[in-house]
Amino acid sequence: MSIQKLYIDRQVANSPQVGLIAERLGLAGEIVPDAQTVYDAVSAAADPVRQGKKVLFLTRNKGPFIKECPGTRAYTCCGYEILHIGSFCQMDCTYCILQSYFHPPVLQYFVNHNDLFKELNAIFAGKKIHRIGTGEFTDSLIWELWTDLSTHLIPAFAAQKHAVLELKSKTTAIQNLEQLPHNRKTITSWSVNTPKIIAEEERGTASLTARLKAAAKCESWGYPLAFHFDPIVLYDGCEKDYERTIQKIFSYVSPDNIVWISLGSFRFMPALKPLVEKRFPKSKIVYGEFITGLDGKMRYFKPMRMKIYQKIIACIRAQAPQTFIYFCMEDEEVWHKCLGYTAPERGGLDHLLDEQAIKHCDLKNG
Amino acid sequence: MPTKDIPSAQSKSVPLSRLDTTDDTFRITTRTSVDDLLASLRHDGMLNPPLVIGKASVFTIVSGFRRIAACQKLGREDIPVRVLHPDIGPLKCLRIAIADNTCQRPLNLIETSRALQKLSGCLGTGKRLAESASILGLPSNLSIINKIKDLCLFPQIIQDAILSDAISLSTAVDLKKLPPDCAVAFAQLFGEFKLSLNKQREILTLVKEIARRDSISEQKVMEDRQLQDIIIDQDLDRGQKVRELRAYLRQRRFPQIVKAEAIFENQRKQLNLGNDFKLTPPKDFESTTYTLNMSFSSIAQLKALHTKLDRMIKHPSLKKIIECKDN
């Protein structure tokens, strides 16, 4: 979906970033006194979610740029930290939690990068390992067309030894990454799914082949890689499709260069269901066998989740026995029955992921 | 009565044959019985004459449909009416008709729907409709208006079910999204089984989700042989039919979950716990924590339970339950 309207927060109107983005978009921005003006305009549309993808609001992040991943106690969380560069996304995935996460959802980008780098520098000055990603509240790479964020972020991470940046995407917007000094401190990662799910539920995203070609390119430029099977969606024939997807991944990239692969089955807040039914009446993904999880989210019945995980893990291990696999938000029973161990038995998921980051990205602990 | 303040209304007596009782343009009431009016008309006459409008030989009734029907039933030839000036537009007539009803009694859902539906024909579906509705004592929230105003367009059987409280507004709103035949089938089912709102919602949701998942119509789900067999089973009473119907639909919607529940139940029976223990699985088998309750009133009884508990711990079925071997 292309940006049709650019709103500029009055407070950042003079930021050099704003001029650059407006020029690249070819849009004259409308200066607004506050975010409410934008929210009101988006909310007035018949489909505010769709409308929120057609406008871009340039503003400043008034809160912290680095946040903890909103995991819950009931399930094992990866301890990833979010670099909050902006929110929402232009692509239109049926299952996207961001549709109901923001009220209303608006594509917004924060231009007060002095504050962002101040926070990052504080982290870089410490001794603790940090795994930081930009792909939680938005897609990491959609901003590449209009901003030069990666050209600042990647070299900044490259110049230190305690933190790794993960850019998670469903796009192929990697052009800006080729010439950057990354020092393996940036992991380029892709959300992957079966071609059927990509075609039917991930509107506006790159195909599986295109994503894997982009991953192979990044690998050739020396970047470490990661893949995220999330959300894993159950349907008739999904097991075979996931198996083929895994085989395809390893036909493009080397297992040795993969820092981690995460698995997470489709889960959603109950509020998302009516939204999906309204916006995507042809989609069937909310009609699986869901139960209410311990965190209040709807998730597939546990034996069904474990069955598909076991298949996927067996398939990955057949291709890449050494590649680290973890679950996004699953409990110890799932870990034990599907991976053969629980995260606490090996020091916790945080520790396991830090180890992978140290190994693949040459981080220094302490 | 608001109609008394209409200066242009002219009182006169007209032959009943000149009133068009088939024209429902301004009919709000759903009540058809006139028995409650007969005695009053016989003893006291027409205290509040109906309002009509018309230029030529036939008058359109604006308000007083039941009073006119009662006079017909009494065999009267003439009736006192107040004739509105022919230049009064349809919107004004409609407002008078609605006010004549709302000032006397609270309107039921179908009457409210009729009032809103007719008003929307003149005022559209936006702010003007909401303002007019508010003045006339009707719901003025546009979202509520939109939920209610089409109810009067439903097939009569559904309207009757709404009027008899067999289906709620919320269910009716859901039925609106279905093809008419299917909506009628649901209304008949809910009417026959006198289901609570929660059960109506549950059945509607299950049918809708099965239909969408399997790419078939809701009607097709409802026509399923097994489902129909439950509905027509002479050996089941109403409560049993409802239980079986819900269980069948749930099994069709959540086959794996229902299967796991059945396996658990089977294993629990093998444990032979009787009434001494109550073993409860984690909700939806999501967590790993099972609950075991027991009650006792003496130490001797507790000792007996202890022995039984030991036996239970060693029982292979408990292991199967805990390890979900059969799931």
Q: Which of A59, A88, A109 is the last residue of a domain?
A: A59
* A29 and A156, same domain (yes or no): no
List the beta bridge partners of residue A186: A165
A366 within some domain: no
* A175 and A247, same domain (yes or no): yes
* A131 and A190, same domain (yes or no): yes
Residues 233-292 of A with CB under 8 A from B: 284, 287, 289, 291-292
pLDDT of residue B125: 83
* A76 and A1, same domain (yes or no): no
* A228 and A352, same domain (yes or no): yes
Task: Give CA–CA dist A132/A164, Å, rounded.
Answer: 6
A300 within some domain: yes
Do the beta carbons of residue B86 and residue B53 sit within 8 Å?
A: yes
- The backbone region for A129, taken as left when phi is positive above 0, alpha when psi lies in -120 to 50, beta otherwise, is beta
* A181 and A228, same domain (yes or no): yes
CA-nearest of A59, A43, A52 to A96 is A52
Do the beta carbons of residue A27 and residue A81 sit within 8 Å?
A: no
pLDDT of residue B57: 82
* A214 and A346, same domain (yes or no): yes
Q: What share of chain A is helix, strand, coil (3-state, %, to 5)?
A: 40, 20, 35
Full 3-state SS string of B268-283: HHHCCCCCCEEEECCH
Q: Among partner residues A284, A299, A303, which is closest to B260 by beta-carbon distance?
A: A303
* Dihedral of the alpha carbons of B8, B11, B14, B19, in degrees to the nearest 10: 40
Q: Is A44 on the interface with B (CB under 8 A)?
A: no
CA of B326: which chain A residue's CA is closest?
Answer: A303
A340 within some domain: yes
CA of A293: which chain B residue's CA is closest?
Answer: B286
A338 within some domain: yes
- Count: domains in chain A: 2
Q: Phi first, then psi: what are they for B80, rounded to 5°?
A: -75, 130
Residues A257-279: tens digit of each pLDDT: 999 999 999 999 999 999 999 99
pLDDT of residue B55: 67
CA-nearest of B218, B208, B209, B215 to B184 is B218
* A275 and A157, same domain (yes or no): yes
* A11 and A108, same domain (yes or no): no
Q: Which of A33, A59, A85 is the last residue of a domain?
A: A59
pLDDT of residue B1: 43
Do the beta carbons of residue B250 and residue B206 sit within 8 Å?
A: yes
DSSP B47: S
* A182 and A93, same domain (yes or no): yes
* A172 and A303, same domain (yes or no): yes
A138 within some domain: yes
Q: How far is CA A341 from CA A68, A317, A318, A323, in A?
A: 25, 15, 18, 15
pLDDT of residue B325: 45
pLDDT of residue B303: 95
Domain span at residue A18? 1-59
Q: Among partner residues A284, A294, A299, which is closest to B213 by beta-carbon distance?
A: A284
A30-32/A5-9 β-pairing:
parallel
Q: Among partner residues B213, B255, B287, which is closest to A294 by beta-carbon distance?
A: B287
Residues B254-289: tens digit of each pLDDT: 999 999 999 999 999 999 998 889 999 999 999 999
* A188 and A280, same domain (yes or no): yes
- Residue whose token pair is 């029973």: A333
Residues A222-267: tens digit of each pLDDT: 999 999 999 999 999 999 999 999 999 999 999 999 999 999 999 9
Do the beta carbons of residue A181 and residue A188 sit within 8 Å?
A: no
Query: Which residues of chain B fall short of a pLDDT of 70?
Result: 1-7, 55-56, 324-327
pLDDT of residue A223: 98
CATH number at residue A170: 3.80.30.30
Instruction: Determine whether B199 is exposed, middle or buried from the number of CB atoms within 10 Å of its CB (0-12, 13-18, 19+).
Output: middle
